[in-house]
Chains A and B, each alone.
Chain A
Amino acid sequence: MRRIIAATLAWLLLAASGLPATAQVSAERLVGAAKEPANWLTYSGAYNGQRYSALDQITPANVKNLKLQWVYQAAAQGGWQTSPLVVDGIMYITQRPNDVAALDAKTGRVFWIYHHTLDPTQIVCCGANNRGLAILDGTLFMGTLDAHVVAIDAKTGRPLWNTKVADSKSGYSITLAPLVVKDKVIIGVGGGEYGIRGFIAAYDAKTGKEAWRFNTIPAPGEPGSETWKPCPPPTSSKTFCDPDAWKHGGAPVWITGSYDPELNLTYWGVGNPGPDFNIDQRPGDNLYTDSVVALDPDTGKLKWHYQFTQQDKHDYDAVQVPVLADITWKGAPLKAMLWANRNGFFYVLDRVTGRFLLGKPFVKVNWASGFDKTGRPIQLPQPTGEPVYPGDHGGTNWYSPSYSPHAKLFYIPAWENYTSLNAVVSPADYKPGRGFEGGVPGAPAVVPGAPGLSGLGARAPVNTWTEVAGNGAVIAIDPLTGEKKWRYYMSDVTESGILTTASDLLFTGGREGYFQALDARDGSLLWKLNLGAGIMNGPITYEVDGKQYVAVIAGLSLSVFGVE
């Protein structure tokens, strides 16, 4: 190769080179995303939320030959929860706090970086997290920690529009990857620990103008408002009930929803009620907290809802990706929704109507004994000071599950035998932008007389919690029965999502930092590599120039693997 630095421009007059322009990601391409597995076009890879790929070049037989291809290092410290998009050989990622980068998916080299300047008054409970982007045509969409939605030119990284969604000073934020449906960009807001009133909203992809907003807590008079009951007469000077509880009752939405194009319904999981732990303050079932809502994506109108946990006092957000699967249920085809909830139960719902079909614990559960005929859990309150299973971080949480239509199994990143104590509650006084939790849950003392175990995040690299405070696992469930098909034990807990492929491979990580490939059929370990830091969110896979890659983030490193 000759490398010349020239002062002439004669060659600019050369005729066009005839390269085809990069295809645009149309709304139709998004609907058919699963049929072009070379790309990863939405947060979960396809509208069905399955985090499953039809790629099969990497197989159980050759996965042992996986080799590191490239690494991209983030500049900012802190948990990195993004799930990349890959479009025609270009990878788009977000990184802390709200930057976007376009990388060559074959080499990891950077084309451009967009920096979003945050409002300094923004507040988030749990770090400067962002989980990714959505794309439509040539435009990327990102929600920001200061509760804006920004549209960015995918070729240049330049902002096209920037719409303020809510007041970040009052604790509203956006951490989820938006979902594009047709010509709209759908987001939800976080802030469930700050007494927000949550919502899901859609914005015109071209202009950023708000198209609709669905409040996840109904106002008085609206359907569902009867679940925010009037206050009873006080029974003691210690009880405190808030007659306006619905105004700051939480119900945040911070994980990307799913979409069924045939039914034209978009599904979103709704988070905890506020204050998190003090139920005296908000009598009633508190709709639509801890629920899944099915909305018309054109209007935002509610089609149906199902509530997983009524009047929750354990922070059991239903912020899981709604997984849509077409299965055969008792001999008949069923448009199912599969859901492993933070409350420890695995559910099968009819996604046309929201009808409850099955609920079965996938980890130890003692807050409920089962379900009544309507699918409502029968709560079994534990006394104060007693362990509640699962603990307040849940039997699983926001990290993506996976469904393999090939293996016909549903895979859950689970926390087994994990507990926390019923919270010691206190009245929560609402002040905009201030914590609004109404109590503090405790961890059980595992050694009498010794200090309790420190909180979340204290395990790796030295796992001080050990098996005494629970363990991580990948649990494979047969959705037809809710029975466990297999279980893969991890010593430490996991915050890693799960990816499955058509070659019956399952990729996942965990807090220990191992990136692991399991056989999706029987859970046997096929390959692992210590990446040296906790893996959050789910791996993805894609193909460029005929070669399949798997991408995963551990710590501050985005690592990409391929078979040599």
Chain B
Amino acid sequence: MRRQLLPLLAVVGLALAGPSLGIAQAIADHPLDYAPADIAYGAKLYGEQCVACHAATGDGVGGIDFKRGTFHSVVTDRDMSSVITGGVAGKGMPAFKLDPTEVTGLVAYIRNFNSVDRSTIKLGDAARGKAIFEGKGECGTCHRVNGVGPRSAPDLSDIGAVRSAASIQRTLTDPSSQMMPINRPVHIVTKDGKVINGRRLNEDTYSLQLMDDHENLVSLNKADLKEFVISTKSPMPAYKDRLSADELADLMSYLLALKGK
């Protein structure tokens, strides 16, 4: 995972509790482990889903203390994910129906419980984020959500369930770094001179399937092509300087709320 430093903390709107107990310190302690965006998202979910039993202090259930890292059976992060989504029979821990984005966030937060003051974490506003998506951010000019918008870029209807908060945040600041290889833009000139630009959907040794920039599903034999260029650079702009930190936090909240149908 890529190391993210202070500028990105501002991006998700995290306010630091103090120089010694803040997320910066947590990252310094576990530099490669958990992204602040995931920790922040997990902290929000903890307040919604976990706090009733585990308490704000993390020690509400006997024998478990998140601050000290004391668990009944959990050793690895995968163990923790299994307990969250599978529950613990007979111990009162229900199986939570959470998507991978949420589980990633919760694990990140619980692993950093001791270093993060949940009360000081400020998250963006999803409704404002939606307005930015459709307005100033111009995201809706390429992306589609719940049947609205063009199909030229990947559909984001369930992006908040399939990508971690940290991955979404990195996409906003460095789109090419997070672009799935299959989604790469392709530029084609056929032997009879036709120019086709689009997004790759599938490829094999002899053929290529894509969504062209007129939203047609197109299948091509490579033998019929004169030119075939696959770009590793995402056509999406970087938003670091286009939107303010608060606006990016709002946009993040909106994208994280897109859970699909």
Contact = CB atoms under 8 A, between A and B. Distances in A.
Interface of A: 1-9, 11-12, 14, 16-17, 19-22, 89-90, 102, 104, 106-107, 109-112, 153, 155-156, 158-162
A8 B226 CA distance: 19
Contact of B222 (A1, A6, A159, A161): A1
Contacts of A155: 151, 211, 215, 217
26 contacts: A1-B228, A2-B229, A3-B228, A4-B230, A5-B229, A5-B230, A6-B187, A6-B229, A9-B185, A11-B187, A12-B185, A12-B187, A14-B187, A19-B216, A22-B217, A104-B209, A107-B221, A109-B204, A109-B207, A156-B155, A158-B144, A158-B155, A158-B157, A159-B157, A159-B261, A160-B147
A110 B229 contact: no
B204 to A, nearest CB: 6
A275 B213 CA distance: 56
Contact of B216 (A22, A153, A162): A22
Interface string B183-224: 001010000001111000110100101011111111101110
A102 B201 CA distance: 11
Contact of B207 (A3, A102, A107): A107
Contacts of A3: 222, 228-230
A135 to B, nearest CB: 14
A7 B261 CA distance: 35
Central interface residue in A1, A14, A110, A155, by most chain B CB within 10 Å: A1
Contact of B197 (A17, A21, A107, A159): A17
Which bracket fits the contact residues of B?
35 or more
A22 B230 CA distance: 24
Contact of A102 (B147, B217, B227, B232): B217
A90 B217 contact: yes
Contact of B235 (A1, A12, A153): A12
Nearest to B191: A1
B243 interface: no
Nearest to B222: A1
B147 A111 contact: no
A457 B120 CA distance: 65
A9 B221 CA distance: 23
A111 B195 contact: no
A156 B219 contact: no
A5 B187 CA distance: 10
Given A6-B231, A155-B217, A17 B196 contact: yes
A438 to B, nearest CB: 39
A4 B228 contact: yes
Contact of A104 (B151, B219, B235): B219
Central interface residue in A20, A102, A155, by most chain B CB within 10 Å: A155
B233 interface: yes
A16 B214 contact: yes
B223 A21 contact: no
A106 B207 CA distance: 11
B211 to A, nearest CB: 7
A104 B215 CA distance: 15
Given A1-B227, A6-B230, A14 B195 contact: yes
A19 B195 CA distance: 9
B229 A4 contact: yes
Contacts of A106: 219
Contacts of A17: 194-197, 212-214
A162 B146 CA distance: 12
B194 A21 contact: no
A90 B210 CA distance: 13
A2 B185 CA distance: 16
Nearest to B221: A107
A162 B230 CA distance: 36
Given A17-B212, A90-B217, A156-B151, A7 B225 contact: no
Contact of B219 (A7, A21, A111): A111
Given A9-B235, A110-B209, 20 more contacts: A2-B227, A5-B229, A5-B231, A6-B230, A6-B233, A9-B233, A11-B229, A12-B187, A16-B214, A19-B194, A22-B215, A102-B217, A104-B207, A106-B219, A107-B207, A107-B219, A109-B207, A153-B151, A155-B151, A159-B157
Contact of B226 (A2, A19, A89): A2
Contacts of A109: 202, 204, 207, 209, 219
Nearest to B156: A158
A9 B231 contact: yes
Contacts of B144: 156, 158
Contacts of B157: 158-159
A110 B147 CA distance: 21
A102 to B, nearest CB: 7
Nearest to B147: A160
Contact of A110 (B197, B202, B211, B218): B202
B228 to A, nearest CB: 5
Contacts of B212: 17, 19
A1 B197 contact: no
A454 to B, nearest CB: 40
Contacts of B226: 1-2
Contacts of B147: 153, 158, 160
A89 B219 CA distance: 9
Contact of B209 (A4, A7, A111, A160): A111
Contacts of B195: 14, 17
Contacts of B218: 19
A441 B219 CA distance: 51
A110 B208 CA distance: 10
**Lowest 3 A-B CB distances belong to which pairs?**
A104-B219, A11-B187, A1-B225
Contacts of B209: 104, 109-111
Contacts of A102: 217
Contacts of A107: 207, 219, 221
Contacts of B196: 17, 19
A205 B187 CA distance: 36
Contacts of A5: 229-232
Nearest to B158: A158
A211 B174 CA distance: 47
